[in-house]
Each structure stands twice: as C-alpha cells, then as structure tokens.
C-alpha cells in the first residue's frame, strides 16, 4: 500500500503551459526558453500550446523540453506560433479548450499577449477555473497598468536603425522623409523614436499639432541652408500621405514616404528584451505557484506588480505624462529654431 501511494504521488507533478496570442514580438522566444528552464527548476512540467488559442482549441499541445528551446534566445518571433482566435470568443470552443487542458492535467497557463487576450483568459478562468498569468507582449506598448511591454525595446531599435539609414539618403537629396511607425491607437513608438532620432516633426494622437504653425519656422530653416526634413508619424493618425503632401505644397520640398510596417515586429531580441522576458516569466511562474489565479504581471517605476484584469484591460493606456511633456517641448513650434 505504501509503495502504491508513493508512486501515485510521483504522478501528481503540477503541469503548466504557455501560449502566444495576437501579434508576435521579439522577446517571445527568450520567454519560452526561460519558461522551460524555470518550470523544470521549480519541479513542474512545462507544455507548449502552439498557435495561440487556436492551438488550445485544436489540442495542439505538446510537452516542452530543453531541446525545444536550444538556440532560440537569439531569434525574433515565436517558435510556437501565435494567432488571433475568433472561435475562443464562443463558449462552445472555450469548453473544448478546457477539456483539452484538463485531459492533460494542465492547471496553469501563461499567456504572452495583449489586453484582448487577457480579457479572454479572465472569462476562461471564471468559467473553467484554469489559473493564468498574463505577460504584456506588444510593441505598441499600449496596455494599461504597465510602463513596459515585452518586445518594445527591440522594436525601437529596429525603428532607430531604419531612421538612421533613411537620414543617410535624406541628407544626400533635398527631400522630406515622412516615416510611419506602428502603434495601433498609441503614439509611444513614434514619440520615443522621434525624440531619440533628431526628427524635425513628430505627429501622434496624444499631442495635437497644427501644421500651419510650423510653416514659417521650416521656411526660415530652409533659407538658412536646411536641405532635408525627417518627420515621424504614428499609424494611428492615418494621415501620412497628407503630411507628405504638406511638405510638397507648402514648403516646396520633394517628399518620400516610408511605412516601416512589420519589420518593427521582427529582429534579433535586444539585451533588454531578453532580460525582461527572463524576469517576466520568473515572476509569472512564481505567482501561479503561490496561488495567484488570474492576474497580469506589470512593470511600473522599475518594479514588478500584479494587477487585475479590470485594471489592465478595461482602462485605456496613456503615455507617461513626463514623456508627453518632453515631446510637447521638443516638437512645439515655439521651440523650432529659426
């Protein structure tokens, strides 16, 4: 009898799974590597859910080993794939997903994604009791409650490199270059990129701009020898072509548009994103093992905190006021050098 009880106890090892949802970011693969290594270190069995919530529904769930994560820390994207799932919005498919997890004995989930993914997991937890911890992972950096989302630093590095290269050719011709960054409804990427690249103009939804106020200043700069301009525009404004036309019609400057697009999501993960992936995953696993059942690990003021789904997903993100004030000052028409 003792031997049977002992063997049964050995089969009761806790199991945990991880999935990526929504847009991929550089930093997900380092997170997967840390997930496997730290789960084994804590004595729990790690599983991969391939292709997000779609894989959860389709039972595309596999044990994760050290061999699965060897060498992936240098790679952008996500080895286990990601997806946006309309099916997971339906109760019928969430029930299927829960049955798949319970059949494997998986009682904990880590979700790399955004607020929409977290809202879905909150409902999933309420219905099925599967504990989870969310890790903010979006280059848009637009999740309320956290100052930083996984992948942002790498994306900013890609944008920086692109702007620097565009400046090389801009300085060779008498042209204005209008560079559009991603960000969905948030201007974070555009603001930070404009401030750190020496751009002459920054346009984001958080800081309204009247282009007419810049005309005199820019004309004065042209008369004193300026022969190119760099303007950074957030995709949220949907006015990139309008800005390009403004340079041509109002300033007589030939203009070129560069939409950076999906290159911003890829690339070799930066040192900072690798470190943040390591820390995010460590906190998430520890939290689940300590009994936190439905939270999001956030990073604010250089500290990690856990917040409820309501705090994260039900309130709009707002760029830090200090950064906005710096942007207002740097790109204000009154600050423009004549």
Residues 90 and 106 in one domain: yes
Residues 166 and 85 in one domain: no
Residues 215 and 118 in one domain: no
Domain for residue 335, yes or no? no
Domain for residue 138, yes or no? yes
Nearest Cα neighbor of 210 from 300, 62, 334 is 334
Domain for residue 337, yes or no? no
Q: Give the total residue count for the chain.
A: 338
Tokens of 118: 């977290």
Domain for residue 247, yes or no? yes
Residues 167 and 249 in one domain: yes
Calculate the alpha carbon distances from 152 to 140, 176, 189 in Å.
Answer: 7, 27, 8
Domain for residue 135, yes or no? yes
Please give the radius of gyration of the chain, using alpha carbons only, rounded to the nearest integer. 23
Indicate the burial class of 40 (C-beta count within 10 angstroms; 0-12, 13-18, 19 or more): middle
CATH code at 187? 3.40.50.460
Number of domains in the chain: 2
Residues 28 and 131 in one domain: yes
Residues 97 and 217 in one domain: no
Catalytic hit among 24, 115, 140, 153: 140
Residues 281 and 141 in one domain: yes
- For 29, what's the count of Cα atoms within 13 Å in the CB-facing half-sphere? 21
**Residue-by-residue pLDDT tens, the chain, 338 positions:** 333 344 444 457 899 999 999 999 999 999 999 999 999 999 999 999 999 999 999 999 999 999 999 999 999 999 999 999 999 999 999 999 999 999 999 999 999 999 889 999 999 999 999 999 999 999 999 999 999 999 999 999 999 999 999 999 988 888 999 999 999 999 999 999 999 999 999 999 999 999 999 999 999 999 999 999 999 999 999 999 999 999 999 999 999 999 999 999 999 999 999 999 999 999 999 999 999 999 999 998 778 888 887 778 767 777 878 778 877 777 777 666 54
Residues 49 and 139 in one domain: yes
Q: How far apart are CA 197 and CA 50, in angstroms?
A: 38
What's the pLDDT at 138? 96
Residues 44 and 146 in one domain: yes
Residues 294 and 260 in one domain: no
Q: How far apart are CA 145 and CA 121, in angstroms?
A: 17
Note if 140 is an active site residue.
yes
Largest CA distance in the chain: 94
What's the pLDDT at 8? 46
Domain for residue 26, yes or no? yes
Question: How would DSSP label each residue in 28-92?
Answer: HHHHHHHHHHHHHHTT-EEEEETTHHHHHHTT-EEE--HHHHTTGGG--S-TT-----SGGGSHH
The boundaries of the domain holding residue 197 are 154-265
pTM: predicted TM-score of the whole model, two decimal places: 0.88
SS3 45: strand
Domain for residue 333, yes or no? no
Residues 181 and 279 in one domain: no
């Amino acid at each position: 009898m003792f031997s049977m009880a002992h063997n049964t106890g050995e089969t009761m090892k806790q199991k945990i799974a991880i999935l990526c949802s929504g847009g991929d970011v550089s930093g997900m693969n380092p997170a997967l590597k840390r997930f496997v290594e730290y789960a084994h270190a804590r004595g729990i069995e790690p599983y991969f859910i391939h292709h997000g919530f779609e894989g959860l529904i389709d039972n595309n769930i596999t044990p994760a080993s050290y061999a699965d994560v060897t060498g992936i820390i240098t790679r952008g994207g996500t080895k286990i794939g990601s997806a946006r799932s309309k099916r997971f919005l339906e109760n019928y498919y969430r029930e299927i997903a829960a049955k798949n997890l319970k059949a494997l004995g998986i009682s904990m989930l880590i979700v790399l994604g955004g607020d929409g993914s977290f809202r879905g997991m909150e409902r999933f937890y309420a219905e099925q009791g599967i504990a989870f911890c969310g890790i903010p992972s979006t280059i848009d950096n637009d999740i309320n409650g956290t100052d930083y989302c996984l992948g942002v630093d790498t994306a900013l590095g890609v944008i920086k490199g692109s702007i620097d290269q565009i400046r090389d050719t801009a300085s060779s011709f008498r042209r204005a270059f209008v560079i559009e960054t991603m960000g969905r409804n948030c201007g974070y990427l555009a603001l930070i990129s404009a401030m750190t690249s020496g751009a002459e103009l920054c346009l984001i939804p958080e800081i309204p701009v009247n282009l007419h106020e810049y005309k005199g200043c820019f004309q004065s700069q042209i008369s004193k020898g300026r022969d190119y301009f760099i303007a950074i525009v957030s995709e949220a404004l949907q006015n990139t072509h309008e800005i390009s036309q403004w340079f041509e019609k109002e300033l007589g400057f030939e203009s070129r548009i560069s939409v950076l697009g999906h290159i911003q999501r890829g690339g070799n993960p930066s040192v900072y994103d690798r470190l943040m992936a390591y820390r995010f995953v460590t906190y998430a696993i520890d939290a689940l093992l300590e009994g936190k059942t439905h939270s999001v690990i956030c990073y604010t003021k250089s500290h990690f905190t856990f917040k409820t789904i309501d705090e994260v997903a039900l309130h709009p993100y707002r760029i830090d006021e200090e950064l906005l004030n710096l942007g207002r000052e740097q790109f204000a028409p009154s600050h423009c050098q004549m």
